[in-house]
């Protein structure tokens, strides 16, 4: 099962097109959702610049704290699983969420593995009825731009990422839901955990082996 298509990887991992032009962002402000995105990309940039020296596991270990801080993993997992979430026990929910978190980190670790020349620009934040959208633009070496927007919601006084949209409208969570829900319906929570673990192991083998 291929959880993320090439397009999905562009949405989820922004496919390694941040360059060294992005500076370390300021400390996150509770009232500034764009700061979360800026700080996350600053971490990605620093990790990517040191990627060859860090190796797969080193990049994973560096990115894991940032992903757990800047993404609302519990809400993202629940929405990705869909209606079947209500049928899972609390331990099953925790296992699926942890497997999903590992997969996210491994995806970023794999695709931000070395320096690139592309640039990312954060255009600002826009308040919508369903949350706050932070608009960004990815500019490639030829000057072509792709919009990647982030749905942000405040959680415990901090702004966190809850969904990612390619070209402003293609929801990564909706894409994953169509895949996750079918796995859970066929084999339950354990099947989804095993699927996510296999995908994580294919990206960063030492992570799952250490569990």
Express each pLDDT in 167-193 by its tens digit.
Answer: 778 899 999 998 999 999 999 999 999
Of the chain, the percentage scoring pLDDT greater than 90 comes to 54
The structure's pTM equals 0.81
Give the pLDDT score at 209: 59
Mean confidence (pLDDT) of the chain: 83
Token reading at 195: 């699927």
Give the pLDDT score at 13: 44
Contact status, residue 30 vs residue 158, Cβ threshold 8 Å: yes
Taking residues 54-78, report their average pLDDT.
95
Integer-rounded Cα Rg, in Å, for the chain is 16
Give the pLDDT score at 29: 43
Express each pLDDT in 1-44 by its tens digit.
Answer: 445 433 344 445 433 323 333 333 444 445 689 999 999 988 98
Domain ranges of the chain: 6-209
| Residue among 83, 64, 71 at smallest CA distance from 180 | 83
Question: What is the pLDDT confidence band of residue 211, given thresholds at 50, 70 and 90?
Answer: low
Angle at 67 between CA 86 and CA 78, to 5 degrees: 10
What gap in Å lies between CA 113 and CA 67, rounded to an integer?
16
Contact status, residue 146 vs residue 137, Cβ threshold 8 Å: yes
Half-sphere exposure of 165 (CA within 13 A, CB side): 14
Of the chain, the percentage scoring pLDDT greater than 70 comes to 83
**6-209: which CATH number, 3.10.100.10, 3.10.450.710, 3.30.43.10, 3.30.565.10?**
3.10.450.710
């Amino acid at each position: 099962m291929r959880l993320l298509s090439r397009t999905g990887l562009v949405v989820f991992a922004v496919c390694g097109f941040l360059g060294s032009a992005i500076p370390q962002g300021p400390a996150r402000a509770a009232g500034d959702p764009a700061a979360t995105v800026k700080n996350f990309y600053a971490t990605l940039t620093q990790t990517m610049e040191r990627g060859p020296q860090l190796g797969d596991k080193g990049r994973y270990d560096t990115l894991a704290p940032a992903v757990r801080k800047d993404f609302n993993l519990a809400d993202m997992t629940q929405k990705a699983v869909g209606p079947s979430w209500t049928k899972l026990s609390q331990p099953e929910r925790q296992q699926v969420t942890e497997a999903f978190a590992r997969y996210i980190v491994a995806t970023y670790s794999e695709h931000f593995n070395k320096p690139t020349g592309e640039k990312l620009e954060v255009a600002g934040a826009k308040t919508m009825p369903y949350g706050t959208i932070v608009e960004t633009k990815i500019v490639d070496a030829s000057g072509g731009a792709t919009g990647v927007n982030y749905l942000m919601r405040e959680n415990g006084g901090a702004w966190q990422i809850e969904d990612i949209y390619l070209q402003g409208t293609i929801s990564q969570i909706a894409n994953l839901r169509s895949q996750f829900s079918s796995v859970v319906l066929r084999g339950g929570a354990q099947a989804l955990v095993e699927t996510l673990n296999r995908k994580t192991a294919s990206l960063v083998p030492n992570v799952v082996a250490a569990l």
